[in-house]
Structures are given as C-alpha cells and as structure tokens.
Amino acid sequence: MLRTGYVCRTMNTKTHDVSSFILSLSERLRSLFQNREVSPHAAQHGLDRAFTNQVLESQPLSVFIPERFGGRGQHVSECLSMLEACSYESLPLSLVMGINGALFLQPLSKYGSEAVQADVFPKFLHENALGGLMITEPGFGSDALQMQTSAERTGDGYRIRGTKHWGGLTGHADYWLLTARGMTPRGDLERNISFFAWDRSLGGIQVEEYYENLGLHMIPYGLNRIDAVVPESRKLEPKTTGVRMLLDLLHRSRLQFPGMAMGYLRRLLDEAVTHCKERMVGGKPLFAYDQVQQRLARMQAAFTACSGMCAFSSSAASVDNDCSGSALPANAIKTVVTDMMQSTAQSLLQLVGAKGYRMDHIAGSAVIDSRPFQIFEGSNDILYQQISEFILKGMGRVRESNLYRYLADFPNTSRVADYLKNSLSFSLTPDLSQRRTVELGKALGRIVSMDMVMKLGDQGFRKDLIDNCLSVMKTDVDAILHRFSSMADANVVEDYIDGAVWQDALPG
Ligand SMILES: Cc1cc2nc3c(=O)[nH]c(=O)nc-3n(C[C@H](O)[C@H](O)[C@H](O)COP(=O)(O)OP(=O)(O)OC[C@H]3O[C@@H](n4cnc5c(N)ncnc54)[C@H](O)[C@@H]3O)c2cc1C
C-alpha cells in the first residue's frame, strides 16, 4: 500500500518504480506546501521561482522527456500520475507542469531536431528550466489560425514579429514555442502555421504588461511584443503540415487535462467529505442531509469519470500516436472534465458556506482557478459545437438519422450505447441551429466520457463507484437532451431600455 496525495493505493510490482517516484514527489510537495509561508491558496501574483525550483528538484518534468536524454520515457500514465500528484496539492502548480509538458517538452520531442533536443532537455532535467507556448494574440484567440505574427526568412534563420498575450509563464519561461505564419514572396502571410523553439539567449521578447489574472496567481500572464531572430535549426519540422502539427499538439494536450483534473477533483471531494462530517447544522452533521449527499455523489461521479478519462488517455495520448485525428475524444474529455472541475468547485464552496468564500480557502480559490480551464485551449462552447458536427457528419456519411443506431456502432460510444438506448432512440436532422448543436455536443461529450467509465469498470475499477457515476451522468445526459429538444430560439433585443423600465409598469 502506497500513499499518493492523501489516498492509499495498492500497486502491482510492475508499477512499483513509478509509484515510488510519484509517492516521493507527493510527499515532497506536501512538505513544501505545508512549510511555505504563503498559503498555497492565497492570492500571490507572480511565479515564486525559489519555491518552483524546490519542486523541480524532484524532476517532475522527467516524465515528459525521452529516456535517451535522461528522462523517464514519456509514458502517458506517468505524466498523468505526476500531474495528479501536483494537482492534489495545487491546481496552478499542476498547470505549470502541464504547460511545460504538453505545450513544450512533448512537441519538442516529437518535432524538434535531435541536436536541439540534446541541447534543451538537460536544461529541464538539471537546471530547472521552464517553457511555455505562445499562440494567442489580442486580436485572434479562438480563431488562432488567423494569427498575424509573421516568420520571415533571413540569412540567420527566421525573424519573428508579432504580439502575443496570455502565454502561461509570461516573463518567466526560459523557453517558448512561438507560433507564426510564414511569408509568401509577395510579403503576404501564408495559411500554414510554424513553430519555433526560442530561448532567453536569443532575446527579442519584451513583456509590455503583466496581467492581474483573476486566479491561478502562481502563473504570470501578460502581453508580449516579439521581434526575435531564431536559427533555422530551432524550427519544428511537421510530419505533414503545420496545421496538423498544431492539431496533434492541441489534441494530445486536451487528452491530458484529466491528469490535472484528477488530483484536484480528489482533493475537493476529500475536503468536502471531511467538512460535511465535522460541520453540525440543526443538530446533525451535514453529511446526514439528503441534498448534501446528492452534491457529494456528484463530486464523486466527477472523480470516477476523470479516472475513466485518465485510463483512456494513457494509451491514446502517446507521443508516438498522431493525435491530429483524435478531435472527438480529445474535445469530449477537455470539455466534460473542465465543466466537472468548475461544478465540483462550486459544490465545495456551497457546502463549506461563508467560511469558504475567501481567497485563502481552497473552496474559494478552486472556483476561480478552475474557471479558465473552460476557456483556454479551445473554448468549451466551440468544442461542444465541434463534437456535434463530427458526429452529425459521420451520420450523414452512412445515411443514418437515428442517434442510438449510429452510436451503437461507433467506437467511442458502442460500449455505453445500450445503457442509454431509450434516451438516444430519436432521429436527428443535420440542419440544427448553433445553440442546439452546442447543447447536443454537451450530451455527446458526456456519452463519450461514459463509454470510458464503462471500459474502466470492465478493467476492474470499483463497481459501486462506476454504477453511481453512470447513474449521475445518465441523469445529466437526459436533462441536456430534454433541453436540446425544447430549446427556445430567443435572441437578444438590442436597444432594450425603451419601454423596459419596471417602475413605469407600476399601476397609477
Ligand atoms: C488562464 C489562461 C491561460 C491561458 N494560457 C495560454 C497559453 O499558455 N498560451 C496561449 O497561447 N494562450 C493561452 N490562453 C489564451 C486562450 O487560449 C484564449 O483565451 C482562448 O483561445 C480564447 O481566445 P480569446 O480569449 O481571445 O476569446 P475569443 O476568441 O474572443 O472568444 C471569447 C468567447 O466567445 C465565444 N465564441 C468565440 N467564437 C465563437 C464561435 N465561433 N461560436 C460561438 N461562440 C464563440 C466563446 O464563448 C468564447 O469563449 C490562456 C487564457 C487564459 C484565460
């Protein structure tokens, strides 16, 4: 029996080496956070480099580095376990690790030249280097492919010019993956996206402003002006096109969100159960109230669903796989698990009551720290739409209009389809309004996630947890599908003040 986070787990001998690595990381993190002067949940803007260096001494990032460069070999289950151990102690810390791993080290290991990898990876292993990714620009966020940052060929390599913002670790990362569009001979921007591995010694990135981010205070964000020359060797080489490389990177990253969510959801559940057993209201513990049990059961369902996603991603997100075609599971996992992170945080705050409504309480900080996960790396509203469009397109291709019949034959949903047969046995037309497409996507995302939960059950995960999770998620799917079928088509009334002053409507 080994402890990771605050939980006891049984591991077989095959996983012993991994578990002792994770165990010692967990213990070190717990001790570092306990002895830290500032509460890990208190508002503290900017990266505490000395503290981060102490964390990096345990080499958590080694899980993202190939064995031939001294890393632990990029086993996704290890990456997820490391992220889980971090997020049990601190969600922002886990995001720092996720940014470094999924948005810098993994792409570099897949698309960077051997010489650049040999130069860069030891810096992460032995010199506490940190990296990040800059895609977003002030004018182009969701529509990132329209980015205006240019990469112009020069004698020395590429001159990269543009403005990027919201790159996690702004001003503090030693390495950045910079995204830019090449230039045609006429000076126009190409459609294709290129990636360049920049490091501090190259200069040319000015932080023009640091943002007062609402949460995730450990991570600095801001606005960067870029005018840097990057050597040719630092350009990542796509297997096919730059856009496919971008999709491969983003889908692999989304598939690994459950690692960051896993420890966090477990921690919030543990906090909620402990609080509800201790807090007496009306002469009995909160734990004894039916409504409280409903909230706790939903929080536990999120824990189980996330476990299913981790098991799925352990093979699906391998660096050896081309994830550019994994839009459906990647988008389903990212949207559903981030919605669960936010609703679990809201539930914890509700259960803790006023005591939790403080920046230095985990319930309060959890609400603001988890919120941007629904926005970055693909806004959930947009990803839900894409999930629906993917399924509707597939149905169109095989001329099937009955949702149950299609999903019963579809690899990501065939295991769960019978469990939901009554709910899914209806016909769909492809010409849905955007709001209905998004609503349908919410249901489909949960159905894909339930399929992962069922498969987790097949692999021996605790049956009572699986049964509870499926029952909670089925209720959600039914409610969403009901909303989908009866959605109002109201639009916002512009210039609405005329005739809309309630006092004027009073009699007399
Ligand atoms: C905490 C945090 C960390 C981040 N980290 C990074 C990072 O490390 N690197 C990086 O490059 N970027 C990062 N970002 C930026 C992030 O990826 C962008 O915020 C995101 O892509 C959305 O872009 P935007 O904010 O410009 O919003 P917009 O593109 O303006 O979209 C705002 C909202 O409009 C709606 N919307 C947009 N398009 C549509 C549509 N077609 N249909 C319906 N609704 C739509 C959605 O509700 C969407 O959420 C981070 C952001 C945050 C908040």
Q: Domain-by-domain residue ranges, the chain?
A: 2-127, 133-239, 247-485
CA 377 / ligand 1 centre spacing (Å): 7
**Residue with CA nearest ligand 1 atom 14:** 166
CA nearest 89: which of 3, 172, 31, 20?
31
CA 282 / ligand 1 centre spacing (Å): 45
pLDDT of 483? 97
pLDDT of 430? 84
pLDDT of 16? 61
Residues with CB under 6 A from ligand 1: 99, 132-136, 141-142, 166-168, 216, 372, 375-377, 379, 381-382
CA 30 / ligand 1 centre spacing (Å): 33
Helices (H), 360-490: 362-370, 380-397, 403-408, 421-424, 434-458, 463-485
CA 219 / ligand 1 centre spacing (Å): 17
CA 6 / ligand 1 centre spacing (Å): 34
CA 101 / ligand 1 centre spacing (Å): 21
Atom of ligand 1 lying closest to residue 99 CA = 8
Distance from C-alpha of 387 to C-alpha of 437, rounded to nearest angstrom: 9
pLDDT of 132? 98
In this structure, which CATH number among 3.30.465.10, 3.40.50.800, 2.40.110.10, 3.20.20.140 belongs to the domain 133-239?
A: 2.40.110.10
**Residue with CA nearest ligand 1 atom 1:** 372
**Residue with CA nearest ligand 1 atom 9:** 167
> Could you tell me if 203 and 240 are in contact, meaning their C-beta atoms sit under 8 angstroms apart?
no
CA 307 to the chain's CA centroid: 14
User: What amino acid is encoded at 284 in this protein?
Assistant: K
Other C-beta atoms within 10 Å of 478: how many? 14
DSSP states of 31-86: HHHHH-SS-TTS---S--HHHHHHHHTT-GGGGGS-GGGTS----HHHHHHHHHHH
pLDDT of 44? 67
* Distances 30 to 26, 83, 212 between C-alpha atoms, Å: 6, 14, 27
> Ligand 1 test: best mutation among 143, 145, 218, 379, most atoms within 8 Å of CB?
379
User: In 3-state terms, what secondary structure has residue 498?
Assistant: coil
User: What amino acid is encoded at 448 in this protein?
Assistant: V
* Distances 423 to 264, 332, 442 between C-alpha atoms, Å: 31, 19, 14
* Domain covering 2-127 in this structure, CATH number: 1.10.540.10
Backbone φ, ψ for residue 25 (5° rounding):
-65, -45
> Ligand 1 test: best mutation among 375, 383, 437, most atoms within 8 Å of CB?
375
Backbone φ, ψ for residue 93 (5° rounding):
-65, -40
CA 140 / ligand 1 centre spacing (Å): 9
> Could you tell me if 174 and 215 are in contact, meaning their C-beta atoms sit under 8 angstroms apart?
no
* Distances 86 to 30, 40, 41, 440, 449 between C-alpha atoms, Å: 9, 12, 14, 34, 23
pLDDT of 6? 41
**Residue with CA nearest ligand 1 atom 38:** 142
pLDDT of 46? 84
- CATH topology for 247-485 is Butyryl-CoA Dehydrogenase, subunit A; domain 3 (1.20.140)
CA 376 / ligand 1 centre spacing (Å): 5
Instruction: Provide the phi-psi class of 229: left if phi over 0, else alpha when psi is between -120 and 50, else beta.
Output: beta
**Residue with CA nearest ligand 1 atom 17:** 376
> Ligand 1 test: best mutation among 95, 130, 164, 166, most atoms within 8 Å of CB?
166
Atom of ligand 1 lying closest to residue 138 CA = 26
Per-residue pLDDT of the chain (508 residues; tens, 9 = 90+): 333 554 444 445 445 689 999 999 999 999 999 998 776 776 667 899 999 999 999 999 999 999 999 999 999 999 999 999 999 999 999 999 999 999 999 999 999 999 999 999 999 999 999 999 999 999 999 999 999 999 999 998 999 999 999 999 999 999 999 999 999 888 899 999 999 999 999 999 999 999 999 999 999 999 999 999 999 999 999 999 999 999 999 999 999 999 999 999 999 999 999 999 999 999 999 999 999 999 999 999 999 999 999 999 999 999 999 999 999 999 999 999 999 999 999 999 999 999 999 999 999 999 999 999 999 999 999 999 999 999 999 999 999 999 999 999 999 999 999 999 999 999 999 899 999 999 999 999 999 999 999 999 999 999 999 999 999 999 999 999 999 999 989 999 999 999 999 999 999 8
pLDDT of 42? 67
Token pair 């995204």: residue: 179
CA 133 / ligand 1 centre spacing (Å): 14
**Residue with CA nearest ligand 1 atom 16:** 376
Structure tokens at 61: 């990032």
- Supply the DSSP symbol for 462: -
Distance from C-alpha of 419 to C-alpha of 498, rounded to nearest angstrom: 51
Helix (H) or strand (E) holding 132: strand 131-134
Atom of ligand 1 lying closest to residue 132 CA = 8
Atom of ligand 1 lying closest to residue 380 CA = 49
Distance from C-alpha of 111 to C-alpha of 416, rounded to nearest angstrom: 36
